[in-house]
Structure 1
């Protein structure tokens, strides 16, 4: 193990000392919070970087790195499940719509998408669009791309969204009619997400990618590298600026930052607060902070012990050191959360739900009711899920005062998502932003959601999700989503202590970057807009 890896794997000594001194007294809690305030001094949040006003330079080769890399890396939009997959797929494919930097859905391959009732949608395709092999985009390509998600054999991550597609038909070579099983006025935003990127009709081979996106696939080696070369016939005039982009997967945090600082990489995703400090001190690098709905969550499986006891779940919720995490681990680059996946800035955020405090006495009470007093429990963490190791260690220390002996086991990141995520009784997840609450709830909270992380099932919640899709009255819609948040807050086993700002580092040579709330690295689409000075 390298020196850098050891260094970045440790808990900050000041944080560790503060944790070890904690007791049940108010004075000790204040001391813990004060430690965070001292540590964050001099590293405050800074405004988002706006797009450069200079005239873009054409050409050049840019090398970027994301934190995800494994043998399961994919060019199939239906199977993408992390930021590396999303970024790679947006290089080669385009969607019917796309999200702008305000999370609004805009026309893309669809010149227009309209509905009067939220059920029947008319989609008119943009003329003159061609795939990388020269074939013209037609309605049949769209029918194929949307329909495949309904097939269980495809194992699409968007199968739940696709269940609402009652019929998809080609009205003409340039027009598609999409009919839903029930109204959903979020459809334009749904179709902007990476699973619904448009493929060529009949595509089965995903060793390469033939799409309509800004780059053509030159090479793809899962777990290692993806190289794209500029699509000279891209449907957006003047884009992209770069001749070639190489996207690498570098799971080692220190290695990513060191490669950026040495000049081997131009832009890297998923910085820590300590990385920000290093880069800013050098004066040769920029840091892109994007506030979004991204979060690391502690998953308590409610369909197995000890999480099958609601009292144990509630005890874990009272054991969350939320403010401490934001002030120490994130050093200000985050926001306190309240165990629902809706950030405070969101227009549908339920302000009526009381903020749950850290209360060790209440945690002890509920652990005792759950029969866990004096018992042991293991929390699974991995280094590349931001805040999971430190979060687990904080809970371990606080748990001693709450009467439960928590053991923290750190496992390798390689294989974490297939071996541990949603399978361990207590473990961590990492959720990227979603453009709508319907997408977020449908993928992670519905009883039959493919990624129902805690195994939570609530019929009332399920009914509200479906009803809210078809509600056009914004006040009624907000009430429905507020009720859903309350159900998650009270009953669900996914515990969300904080929201995390997306932090990307880049060389001063890289221009054209700006913060987008839809995800890291400009909503996974930096390669379309970036250029090299």
Structure 2
């Protein structure tokens, strides 16, 4: 299952997890924004790119999910606190380790008419199993043996082997229910309105919604690709708000800016373990030499914290001890390069004018590598081609590593470590270790959260020993709202939670 976004964000590399150290004094995290004081006729929201599609099986990036989370609903629901609760399934039972039974809510209406049935749920989930369709969420169904109707409003999913992640994925687009053969006819608090290609997309309040009615009558999503233009539109009131604010705009938008939990990290992903980077000492040396604090200060405008491991702190249970933050040690890094016999050897790092954070991180890698004796070459890739690094092995063959921003779609650290399994879609460097695969499988099969976290911590140690990628910084969610509106959640839950329904009048 692809956990990361596939399309490049305007100010950062496309999503490709990191444990936070003490937060920088430059920002504070807000649990929420003040609740709306009343309804509002409409509000306008800025989004950095137009969705290529709104078919839920391909909803795998910020633009699609930010919109669809208000239109379509899944069996389970991610909460603003990044917890899990019932969605279209009012109850889920697990009679044994290989069975999930979902009782579907009765009387839930589609935007286009008719009510949700168990047959609809079966049809919607089975679309991910059709290889001809090529669902981006197919990996979530790897352990599924069958999906079938088991009662008038009941669906049973049988697994080939235990899967602790499956029910969590049912809160994402993997669990979306839509009317058969009408992929965007869904049940959410908003229905799709006019879509003006290249300009905007409108959502309209759905009066037949089964839950609490949305506070806004309409939401107009404006597609504004230029970060400066987005900022200006917010400052002038042309748009009322937006997520994913460019770091360069933090200062200008300070009065309406909020930060929240994101499960998002900035990292360096390896694509080649055969050349200079085949020696783990070289990979460890790069990690030791990298100036993370400098990058956070310049690339993220001080809004972030150093990351020590791939899985974000907010994804871990509280009882799991936090590893120490990454510390820079250039002398130790130089010694590792000497021991590896890598002095003067070449590595190629991808960079792109896609955003200052990408170019600055690539430059920081070059500086670190040069300081410890490596020959670091930067390869510039056009913004519209950068996304190919996440899906096309041929595109990755020209570089050894690249900056990427990664978010989790479920609140489970195991999701960060499953990607390094031999068959992982995001295992860009082709890492293979049967012992690692065995631990991943064992952790996935463990339903007890504490036991699973302990197994995941073992994977954390195994990954750290091999340095399978370099975590750099943990990056909070950014949200701007103008004076007219309030109520939007500050966390990354906006990807799968109907956040726009909470937005209303500020006064």
Normalising by structure 2, report the TM-score: 0.86
Q: How far is the alpha carbon of 1:263 from its aligned partner?
A: 1.7
- Comparing both chains, which one has the higher relative contact order based on Cα–Cα distances under 8 Å and sequence gaps of 6 or more? 2
Q: How far is the alpha carbon of 1:411 from its aligned partner?
A: 3.2
Q: 2:420: which partner in 1? A: 445
Q: 1:102: which partner in 2? A: 81
Q: How far is the alpha carbon of 1:143 from its aligned partner?
A: 0.8
1:417 aligned to 387, 409, 424, which one? 387
| 3-state DSSP of counterpart to 1:116 | strand
Change (3 A) 1:438 1:118: farther
Is 1:252 the counterpart of 2:231 in the alignment?
A: no
Q: How far is the alpha carbon of 1:257 from its aligned partner?
A: 0.9
Alignment of 1:362-401 (within 5 A): 362-384=332-354, 387-401=357-371
Is 1:286 the counterpart of 2:267 in the alignment?
A: no
Q: 1:30: which partner in 2? A: none
C-alpha distance in structure 2 between counterparts of 1:349 and 1:410, whole Å: 43
Q: How far is the alpha carbon of 1:482 from its aligned partner?
A: 0.3
CA distances 1:175-231 after superposition (whole Å, capped 9, x unpaired): 11111122234443220012321122244xx6xx21112222223466653322221
Q: 1:427: which partner in 2? A: 402
Q: 1:243: which partner in 2? A: 217
Q: 2:188: which partner in 1? A: 213
Q: How far is the alpha carbon of 1:522 from its aligned partner?
A: 7.4
Q: 2:62: which partner in 1? A: 83
Q: Segments of 4+ in structure 1 off by > 6 A? A: none
Report if aligned partners of 1:44, 1:332 keep a CA contact under 8 Å in 2.
Answer: yes
Q: How far is the alpha carbon of 1:437 from its aligned partner?
A: 2.8
Q: 2:48: which partner in 1? A: 67
C-alpha distance in structure 2 between counterparts of 1:527 and 1:385, whole Å: 27
Q: How far is the alpha carbon of 1:51 from its aligned partner?
A: 4.0
Q: 1:228: which partner in 2? A: 203
Is 1:528 the counterpart of 2:504 in the alignment?
A: no
**Greater Cα shift, 163-172 or 443-452:** 443-452
Normalising by structure 1, report the TM-score: 0.82
C-alpha distance in structure 1 between counterparts of 2:230 and 2:344, whole Å: 42
Report if aligned partners of 2:264, 2:476 keep a CA contact under 8 Å in 1.
Answer: yes
| 3-state DSSP of counterpart to 2:132 | helix
C-alpha distance in structure 1 between counterparts of 2:270 and 2:389, whole Å: 16
1:151 aligned to 125, 130, 140, which one? 130
Is 1:357 the counterpart of 2:327 in the alignment?
A: yes
2:482 aligned to 507, 520, 527, which one? 507
**Greater Cα shift, 176-185 or 137-146:** 176-185
2:92 aligned to 113, 121, 131, which one? 113
C-alpha distance in structure 2 between counterparts of 1:184 and 1:355, whole Å: 31
Q: How far is the alpha carbon of 1:348 from its aligned partner?
A: 6.6
Is 1:179 the counterpart of 2:158 in the alignment?
A: yes
Q: 2:294: which partner in 1? A: 324
C-alpha distance in structure 1 between counterparts of 2:92 and 2:289, whole Å: 47
C-alpha distance in structure 2 between counterparts of 1:222 and 1:416, whole Å: 23
C-alpha distance in structure 2 between counterparts of 1:370 and 1:219, whole Å: 60
C-alpha distance in structure 2 between counterparts of 1:121 and 1:107, whole Å: 13
**Greater Cα shift, 305-314 or 156-165:** 305-314
C-alpha RMSD of matched pairs (Å): 2.9
Segments of 5+ residues of structure 1 without an aligned counterpart are 1-7, 10-36
Segments of 5+ residues of structure 2 without an aligned counterpart are 1-9, 12-22
Report if aligned partners of 1:296, 1:387 keep a CA contact under 8 Å in 2.
Answer: no
Report if aligned partners of 2:316, 2:413 keep a CA contact under 8 Å in 1.
Answer: no
C-alpha distance in structure 2 between counterparts of 1:344 and 1:183, whole Å: 25
Q: How far is the alpha carbon of 1:271 from its aligned partner?
A: 2.0
Q: 1:478: which partner in 2? A: 453
1:126 aligned to 86, 96, 105, which one? 105
Report if aligned partners of 2:268, 2:471 keep a CA contact under 8 Å in 1.
Answer: yes
Q: How far is the alpha carbon of 1:313 from its aligned partner?
A: 2.1
Q: 2:146: which partner in 1? A: 167
C-alpha distance in structure 1 between counterparts of 2:433 and 2:500, whole Å: 41
Report if aligned partners of 1:67, 1:269 keep a CA contact under 8 Å in 2.
Answer: no
Q: How far is the alpha carbon of 1:432 from its aligned partner?
A: 1.9
| 3-state DSSP of counterpart to 1:247 | strand
Q: How far is the alpha carbon of 1:419 from its aligned partner?
A: 5.2
Q: 2:4: which partner in 1? A: none
Q: How far is the alpha carbon of 1:472 from its aligned partner?
A: 3.8
C-alpha distance in structure 2 between counterparts of 1:524 and 1:99, whole Å: 6
Report if aligned partners of 1:140, 1:201 keep a CA contact under 8 Å in 2.
Answer: no
